[in-house]
Amino acid sequence: MLRPATEHLGMETFAIPAMDCPEELGLIEKGLKHHAGILSFEPIYLERRLQISFDPRETTPPRIAEAISQLGFPAQIASDEKPADRPSGRPLRWWTTLIGGVLLAVAAVIAIAAQFLGPYLAINVAHATLAAQVLCVLSTLVAGAPVAKAGWRALRLRSADMNLLMTVAAVGALGIGEFFEAATAMFLFGVSLLLEGFSLDRTRRAVHGLAALAPTVAHHIHGDHLHDINPAALKVNDLVLVKPGERIPVDGVVTEGISSVNEAPVTGESVPVEKEASAKVYGGSLNGEGSLTIRTVHTAGESTVARIARLVVDAQASRAPTARFVDEFARRYTPGVIGLAALLAIVPPLLSYLGLELVTGVAPSEWFRRALVLLVIACPCALVISTPVTIVCGLYRAARRGLLVKGGEHLENAALVDCVAIDKTGTLTTGRAEVVRIDAAPGATSDEVLRVAASLEQSSEHPLAAAIVRAARQGGISLQQPSEFTARRGFGVEGRLGGELWFVGSPRMMAAWLPNVADTLDSRQDDATAVCIGTKDRWQGTVYLTDPPRPDAAESIAAMRDAGVKRVVVLTGDRRSVAERIGKLVGADGVEAELLPDDKVARVAKLAEKYPYLAMVGDGVNDAPALAASRLGIALGSGASDLAIETADVIVLAPHLTKVAELFRLGRTVRRRLRENIALSLGIKALVLVLAAAGLATLWIAVAADVGASLLVIANGMRLIGRGKEQAPGSEGT
């Protein structure tokens, strides 16, 4: 089917309570294969939801929901779903598993009593054995009723999922007289489904806990009155009072008050941050001892906490490389083992009938029993479920540490980063430059130079522009509002003041405007950045600024190397002398200076030829192209430009470079967990497969191994959640 034009592409999310692993997704995909207009599926297993892209000219969301429900998976449009509407098979599963277990236990007591106490209690062993067998059959039927129902659903769709395999195995075991084995296997399978459900629910609750950081009440200031309202009712630019000890309801800027704020739940910042007028605060942060009045900058739905929770949930739909590999492997593994089971049930008895016994003394029924064990081993549930659980736990832990990762693929890429390119201004340096000197042209004063520069730069987002504006305001210089303002990426800005066109920018910009006077720039300021001011026909002056490296810059680069990074390169549009000085101070391996945004992209592409897993760290508008060109784009700090945040694959909320190294370590931890889970799943399966082929594994042992493997991989993945809450900043965890 041809993909429709973008304007004809629709997308809807469906709530499917019965879908929590790739087996169910496979059945749904197979059942909808011939449904007109459906283009792609993106599962969110923890939420039991499915995002479907479709052509609205051929189908509608209600029709898709109805089609899914007809497959045996009750579904509804997610936006229409209410918690009370969610059907759940768990109460039924509880009762069937419990009753099946009781019947099995009674059967076991009768059999043991008849075997060991029969002569003493005058028990008819034959009758007792028959009674135990009947109870085992009843136990299998009761505990297996939900399994058989789900298996029938798979059979109608011509697919072999774990429910169908277990149903066939149990019926086969009853058919050859293995009553206790059939009942035990079905009971353990029911227990395994319940335990897996509870484990996944714990992960789901942890992820939902991110959204619970937001308070339920906001003290809205309306005129002279204070009203308690739901934070969802707040609008941008509303005033809110935050009392001592309360959580801040939404993102905002402090307008009045001084207090320390604990931002750890949002940014992972371990030490409370002092906040005063003009300081930015995050919704979900915990206010300290002082009262704060804040002006909201986002609604509750667009606050940082809401975005974090939404990002973690949405990121589940993206398929990480390991997840794609596991899914592809599972598609081949299951039919392969089913085929092996069929051969084991048919070939040895056939050869024996022809007089060519493979193993002397093994009855055909025994080969059939071994084949049934292989059927249980054919289910790849533990293997398939290990990747989404581990990835989501890693995304959750990253979010709790102030690292917003936009998908599992980026988290895995973070584990493989071998080279880091870092922007200088505002990323490697504090971004809070200071004016250290002003050179004015003959006939001009320093204040005049600063007034022109600040008037134009007040419309710019560049950190150097903020320093110039700050210096002018501290000097009491009044500013003008420019007209025809234009930002020249990598050069500077230009605009009209009083009808005259001015430029403020780098020496390259002055060379373009005033080539005859460009060489008058004082090159003795090797440790400072020069910002030139002038018009088309005259140079007005030059402002020199210094921007010191962040206090943690050198430590952070060393930590990146400890995390496996081989090379760190500084990329900047600043002068080479300034860039090399900063690079030397922080311990970078190389410096690329005097770069335009396009030059940064070219350097990133060149570095990527040697280092395929290249990460770019930046924060400005001019960094966005390089962030997009890199394998892993990282936007640093809440002050990063909107374009950088939208372009980046990872957003670091706290402006600490140490967080970047922490991201790499977390990526490696997640990757290690994924490998451990794959090894556990395949190792246990391989062991039981060999034992089954040799006749040393029973049906219930196969089920117990499958249960154990599933619980092990879930527990191993969830270690990321437990350790993430207790860790000190910068530690890795194991």
Query: SS3 breakdown of the chain: % helix, strand, coil, rounded to 5?
Result: 55, 15, 30
pLDDT mean over 283-308: 82
- The C-alpha atoms of residue 685 and residue 700 are separated, in whole angstroms, by 14
pLDDT surpasses 50 at 3: no
Q: Locate 143 and state its tokens.
A: 């505990």
User: Model confidence at 391, in pLDDT bands (50, 70, 90)?
Assistant: confident
pLDDT band at residue 559 under the 50/70/90 scheme: very high
Confidence band of 295 (pLDDT split at 50, 70, 90): very high
Three-state SS at 444 = coil
Q: What is the pLDDT of residue 188?
A: 78
Q: Is the pLDDT of residue 567 over 90?
A: yes
Phi then psi for residue 227, to 5 deg, are: -120, 135
Q: In the predicted model, is pLDDT for residue 721 greater than 70? A: yes
Find the helix or strand (DSSP H, E) in which 663 lies.
Answer: helix 658-693
67 vs 488: which has the higher pLDDT: 67
Does pLDDT of 142 surpass 60? yes
- Residue 561, pLDDT score: 93
Average confidence (pLDDT) over 625-631: 85
User: What is the mean predicted confidence (pLDDT) over 249-264?
Assistant: 86
pLDDT tens per residue across span 492-532:
899 999 889 999 988 888 888 887 776 656 544 556 778 99
Q: Is the pLDDT higher at 94 or at 5? A: 94
User: What integer pLDDT is reported at residue 240 of this predicted model?
Assistant: 92
More confident site: 216 or 453 = 453
pLDDT-derived band at 89 (thresholds 50, 70, 90) equals very low
Q: How many Cα atoms within 13 Å fall on the side-chain side of residue 81? A: 18
Report percent pLDDT > 90 for the chain. Answer: 17
Query: What is the pLDDT confidence band of residue 729, given thresholds at 50, 70 and 90?
Result: very low
Q: Quick one: pLDDT at residue 733?
A: 39
pLDDT at 319: 57
pLDDT at 543 over 50: yes
User: Where does the pLDDT of residue 31 fall: very low under 50, low under 70, confident under 90, or very high at 90 and above?
Assistant: confident
Quickly list H helices, 157-283: 162-175, 179-211, 264-267
Provide the pLDDT for residue 623. 78
Please give the structure tokens belonging to residue 126. Answer: 């034959």
In the predicted structure, residue 79 carries a pLDDT above the cut 80: no
How far is residue 1's CA from residue 312's CA, in Å, rounded to a whole number?
31
Angle formed at CA 134 by CA 133 and CA 135, multiple of 5 degrees: 90
* Catalytic residue status for 238: no
More confident residue, 148 or 209: 148
Q: Which has the minimum average pLDDT: 53-67, 345-359, 474-488?
A: 345-359
pLDDT recorded at residue 727: 39
Could you give the CA distance from residue 18 to residue 163 in angstroms, rounded to a whole number? 13
Hey, how many other C-beta atoms are within 10 angstroms of the C-beta on 536? 10
- Which of 423, 439, 619, 706 is flagged as catalytic? 423
Residue 391 vs residues 136, 314, 325, 564, 598: alpha-carbon distances, Å: 40, 12, 14, 21, 34
Closest CA to 48 of 207, 170, 168, 192: 207
The answer to whether the predicted template modeling score (pTM) of the entire model surpasses 0.75 is no
Mean pLDDT of 303-332: 65
Instruction: Walk me through the domains of the chain, giving residue ranges and CATH numbers.
Output: 6-85 (3.30.70.100), 90-207+317-390+675-722 (no CATH), 218-302 (2.70.150.10), 403-423+552-653 (3.40.50.1000), 434-546 (3.40.1110.10)
The most confident of 199-203, 287-291, 429-433, 609-613, by mean pLDDT = 609-613
Q: Is 438's pLDDT higher than 60? A: yes
8 Å CB contact between 373 and 692: yes
Hey, what are 384's tokens? Answer: 């398939």
CA distances from 722 to 477, 669, 727 (A): 54, 14, 9
- Confidence label for 103 from pLDDT (cuts 50, 70 and 90): very high
Most confident of 79-88, 124-133, 298-307: 124-133
Report d(CA 137, CA 182) in Å as an integer: 8
- Write the pLDDT tens digit of every residue in 634-683: 988 766 666 677 778 888 887 788 899 999 999 999 999 989 988 888 88
Q: How high is the mean pLDDT of the chain?
A: 80
Cβ neighbours of residue 5 closer than 8 Å, sequence gap 6 or more: none
Beta strands in 367-410 (DSSP E): 403-405
For residues 293 and 254, the answer to whether their CB atoms sit within 8 Å is: yes
Residue 320, classed as helix, strand or coil, is coil
For residue 196, give the nearest of 719, 720, 712 by alpha carbon.
712
Q: How confident is the model at residue 712 (pLDDT cuts 50, 70, 90)?
A: confident
Provide the pLDDT for residue 124: 73
Going 328 to 329 to 334 to 335, the CA torsion angle's sign is positive
Calculate mean pLDDT across residues 183-197.
76
The residue that leads in pLDDT, 726 or 516, is 516
SS (H, E, C) 486-527: EEECCCEEEEEECCEEEEEECHHHHHHHCCCCHHHCCCCCCC
* pLDDT greater than 80 at residue 309: no
